[in-house]
Structure 1
């Protein structure tokens, strides 16, 4: 087994994010006393879910396998309700647990299923995508999508631990791996500039799942998120900085009916947020332009359709950071210095969007 890195996440319900290769045998230790464990996974991940199930059974746990739809199509209240029905039929109690195997959509769903069942049972995300490892699996945000928007229904429910098994990345489609790097780049701009330096030195190495650069980037990003969420579980303060670039990104996802990769939408959203920061007089031009240069070097998108602006603006108005009719954006005052732009004018928003329009 490869060397294991344990990154602690503090707070009232502390846990570790475990990074390494060959981590399947770690799962049972994270759930002591759980006689029954439900393993949620989509059909494409049946093999990895089967390995998790085998490890749990080897430790004497009864396993209920629940197949969920793949990706964002499964992140619905209807899927959650079906999962709750299965837990009820299997007699799950408060001492039992849920394991969610998959990318960000699967772990968001699995965490919400666990948060609501009996008002909260233990759960563990086994993240199989780079995006999930650095973002969705860490921090205890769980939820589902609705017609009103992405992640507007959910709960804060920290996991018992997080497994980031780097073996999963070896078979990840290259476009999915690259999309996940958008969240890593975000962490570089809001808190850890070493991430940006590492990517700029060798963008190709940053997209090689077998190389050391990807592991270093994952560990950097996880430490950034662990530091932020450990002191602000319920997003009442500093945790909002993790939404840098996400206001437009979530709007793009809604307009695209969740067919765009989250990381691709975040990439466009980061460039937009940087340009908005600059046009608002907050951020210098070179740092704003650095966003586009790094994301382009990774092969990520940095523009979106100009014709979509009215729909995007409408979608942003129901963003969870909005307060009444006022939009609020996380912006940069300088590299690794974040702040909130409260109530920018529609003209300023449109001017910033023009810089990312095609």
Structure 2
């Protein structure tokens, strides 16, 4: 068995490459103290002032194009991230989510406003997509353990045992008391498919509230492009070639005040007996989703929505996923198949420029 585990750097690069001024990979980190201006000093800068964090088992990078940003601001962002992680992490045994999971089949658990709102959002997407996005998939995620040492194909009997414990209709929410209840023992909620997107939105709101209007927020490939880049131009975002050995994008998106999130088979996976098993699980079969897709990229205004949509639409497959995405308001999707074909929703054509001859745009 061959286990493939991403390093922190590859986690950052696995979904999207930011190019055209959004990422300057050759620049050294800015000195925040030197970049803090005196009163009245010009705030627009060419190179970003940036800070990296390691939370949610991935690298979080915030790049701000404004010389007024200080260590205090970055520290406050870190506290916001730590709070979300402490409330919603499935692997943190002291988190609110862990307490909900520990009390499955026992009693409801009251959670914070923030956690309840994210759980409610996750539940709504689970119902809307008929379980293609599934907040109750935690038992299968734990069983497969993909992305961690020791990942392997579980016994079929164990998979069959856990499928009934991964059904979202056994999740009960009480908005009046902010209580979450998993009705059966052995159930586990997993917010991994939505919490990173929510976190990007929280950071963007913090920056906006503090007067910063130009930034790139990257949570392991969940990219939020705040405002415009310096000079008043749109950001150029590169969509990662699923073949990571090449490291060049298949195309570019021109965006402002939008978020781009990709779900793909190359993000977390392992190989056993010559077969690759990726991390996007189907709660009906108990196995990784098996279709002809390598990745799905979502472009929209809200990162929490993009995060949930990228997973659920990937799980739907090309035909159903494309039909579903076309019906969404203010959201576009791009599909990359295993045979290097690219399919897009109608509005994506307005912002996409293909750059890789190895890939063919099929429905421009």
Q: TM-score range by the shorter chain?
A: under 0.3
With CA pairs under 8 Å and 6+ residues apart, which has the higher RCO, 1 or 2?
Answer: 2
TM-score w.r.t. structure 1 length? Answer: 0.26
Structure having the larger proportion of residues in helix? 1
Return the TM-score normalized by structure 2: 0.26
